[in-house]
Each structure stands twice: as structure tokens, then as C-alpha cells.
Amino acid sequence: MIINHPLLGPRDSEEFVYLGSTDLIDRPTNWEKSAAAEDFHQYQYIRENIAGDIQELWYHEQGDQSWLVVTRSTLTHEISNVELAQDFSRVKGRGK
């Protein structure tokens, strides 16, 4: 698979380390609320596991060490979009 890095252009997926769904960005923040244990359980262990387009985190370990959000089909492996994870997070209102 070739990942079209927004800054560096097309790179072999071998240069990257795969983490998983972008759901992993949204770590529960309020550990004091009564349902916090359940929130963390959902975050850490339960997966959407979609058959189709998913957004996922790839780390460019052997490149510029950036985190990317790759939109890729789990049925065909076709990549339809690549963006920097920091841009993706800022759009969602996070600091980084």
C-alpha cells in the first residue's frame, strides 16, 4: 500500500506503524464521573470494526514521525484520503 503523505508525498506503508481507529484519539477525560470505568472500557476494548471505509491512525516512524489519519476501505485496502492527525484533531476542537 502507498500512503500519500500530505507533506512528503507517496510513501510505502512499510515506513509506518499502524495503531488503529481514530476513535483512539478520544480518550475519556473525566475519570471522576460515576460511569468513568464503563467509558474507559468502551474506549480501550470495544471496537466498531467496520467493513468499509474507516479512519485510522498511522505513525510515520521511519519518516518525519508524524501521525496521519488515513481513510481506507477495510474491504479493498483502497486509500481515499490522508491528512495530518493534528489537523484532524483541531477540526474536532482539540488542542493537538
Partner 1 sequence: MSKTRYSAFKVLKEALTGHKGWEPTWRDAEPKADGYDVIIVGGGGHGLATAYYLAKNHGITNVAVLERGWIGSGNVGRNTTIIRSNYLLPGNEPFYELSLQLWENLEQDLNYNVMVSQRGIMNLIHSDAQRDAFIRRGNSMLFAGAGCEYLEAKEVKERYPFLDMNNARFPIKAALAQPRGGTVRHDAVAWGYARGASDLGVDIIQNCEVTGFNIENGKCLGVQTTKGDIKANRVGVCVAGSSGRVMAKAGIKLPIESHVLQAFVTEGLKPVLDNVITFGAGHFYCSQSDKGGLVFGGDLDSYNSYAQRGNLPAVEDVCSGGMAIMPMIGRARMLRMWGGVVDMSMDGSPFIDSTEVKELFFNGGWCYGGFKATPASGYCYAHLLATDVPHEVATAYRLDRFRRGAMIDEKGVGPQPNLH
> Residue 10's closest CA among 89, 72, 88, 63?
63
Please state, in angstroms and rounded to a whole number, the distance separating the CA atoms of residues 47 and 56.
12
Closest separation between CB of residue 95 and partner 1, Å? 25
Among 30, 49, 65, 80, binds partner 1 (CB under 8 A): 49
Give me the count of residues in the chain: 96
Q: Of 28-36, 59-67, 70-78, 87-95, which segment contacts partner 1 by CB under 8 A?
A: 70-78
| Residue 7 or 17 having the CB closest to partner 1 | 17
